[in-house]
């Protein structure tokens, strides 16, 4: 006898389909977890780069101003502090999602809004 002579029962087919659906759901959940971990890692790297860039730019500007005006490290200290303040503001914007309020990020959010026809105003 072959499998053609004895087709699987409905219960067997239902059990197989349920197993495949459960496996796909588990794979989908695992993929979402990986995406969330990658997004968090990306934000962490962005914050680290913001810190290095803000301090480096502040240091360079302060050193340049001190050299130009032939002063003590007054401008260096002031610009490092301002660079750190800029870093804190950028981190705040990143965490609140305000860095996408202009440009492509805003356009993408508006395009995803139901009922948005791409025009400004009431859409009439």
Per-residue burial over 11-21, b = 16 or more CB atoms within 10 Å of its CB, e = otherwise? eeeeeeeeeee
- pTM comes to 0.62
Q: Cα separation of 80 and 60, whole Å?
A: 9
Contacts of 81 (CB under 8 A, 6+ apart): 58
Assess contact for 76 and 62: CB atoms under 8 A. Answer: yes
What is residue 73's predicted lDDT score, i.e. its pLDDT?
94
What is residue 113's predicted lDDT score, i.e. its pLDDT?
73
pLDDT in tens, 58-95: 999 999 999 999 998 999 999 999 999 999 999 988 88
- On the question of pLDDT at 124 being above 50, the answer is no
């Amino acid at each position: 006898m072959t499998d053609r002579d004895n087709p699987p029962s409905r219960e067997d087919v239902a059990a197989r389909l349920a197993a495949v659906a459960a496996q796909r759901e588990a794979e989908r959940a695992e993929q979402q977890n990986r995406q969330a971990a990658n997004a968090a890692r990306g934000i962490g790297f962005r914050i680290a780069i913001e810190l290095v860039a803000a301090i480096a730019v502040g240091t360079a500007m302060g050193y340049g101003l001190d050299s130009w005006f032939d002063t003590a490290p007054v401008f260096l200290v002031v610009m490092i502090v301002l660079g750190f303040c800029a870093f804190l503001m950028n981190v705040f914007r990143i965490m609140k999602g305000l860095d996408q309020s202009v440009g492509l990020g805003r356009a993408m959010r508006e395009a995803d809004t139901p009922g948005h026809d791409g025009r400004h105003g009431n859409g009439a």
